[in-house]
Amino acid sequence: MNQRRKALVTGASSGIGRATAVRLAADGYDVCLNARRLPLLEEIAAGLAPGNHLVCAGDYSDASVVDGMAETLGKRWERLDVLVNSAGVFMPVDALDSSLPEWRRPFDILFEGGVRVTRMAAGLMSEGGRIIHITSVHGQRAEAKASSYSMAKAALEQYCRSLAVDLADRGILVNAIAPGFVRTAMSVLPDGTDELETEWFLRNYVEGHHLPLRRPAEPEEIAGVASFLAGPDATYITGHVITVDGGLTITF
């Protein structure tokens, strides 16, 4: 029987998700990569440390995609030990003047997608399972045009707390990681400008006092925390949000 632990990573085609998939494979996990871009996932999977890795492409907020993942994981692995839900999308939307369907779209993708994939993953887990959601400091802080995104992240964090209680008797631990600024494709603005290279960021966060470590995180630094929460040293942590933000949220 294959004793290697099995991990599903959503949003695995870039950024934190990709770094987490690479890290878990290096840690000795078999990894299933999920995101929308199949060719990129296949390329990433080919470069992972050797293992019985899988690729399940598709939009994780689509019920049929999640059903397909459940079927594949059930047939190929028969179980799942770790879910790292890192899929994310940022869509600026006006809190008052947008239509309700427009406002809800980022929320529905992030939150309902997260719930769908969590329910599926939990059904394949036994004692020792780990569920980890990548949220954001937006779950506790506010920014213009980000109300739907922020509420989705906050909802996922409360979902983790509730699940931690509901799944405790099954021995499944549930936590969230809330990053601050991270050097990923999501930091690139619609006009192609990297937010982390702008005068605004340098003035407020590198030269200023709002970010004590004076730099954005690298995706691998978030992946390291996910590796810890998935591993043998995190057996008494559940229902918590670990903020990984270089000190951003401790200042004023």
Query: What is the model's pLDDT at position 92?
Result: 85
**What is the per-residue pLDDT for 3?**
84
Which member of 149, 159, 205, 236 is catalytic?
A: 149
Q: What is the pLDDT of residue 91?
A: 84
10-residue mean pLDDT series, the chain (252 residues) = 86 96 98 96 97 96 96 97 93 90 90 96 97 95 90 96 98 98 84 88 91 96 98 98 97 88
**pLDDT value at position 2?**
56
pTM of the model: 0.94
Alpha carbon 27 to its chain's center: 18
Q: Is residue 173 within 8 Å of residue 6, measured between CB atoms?
A: no
Asked if 107 and 59 count as a contact pair (C-beta separation under 8 A), the reply is no
149 is catalytic: yes
**Residue given tokens 């603005």 in the structure block:** 189
Give the residue range(s) of CATH 3.40.50.720 domains in the chain. Answer: 6-182+217-247
Architecture field, domain 6-182+217-247:
3-Layer(aba) Sandwich (3.40)
Q: How buried is residue 32: exposed, middle or buried, by Cβ count under 10 Å (0-12/13-18/19+)? A: buried
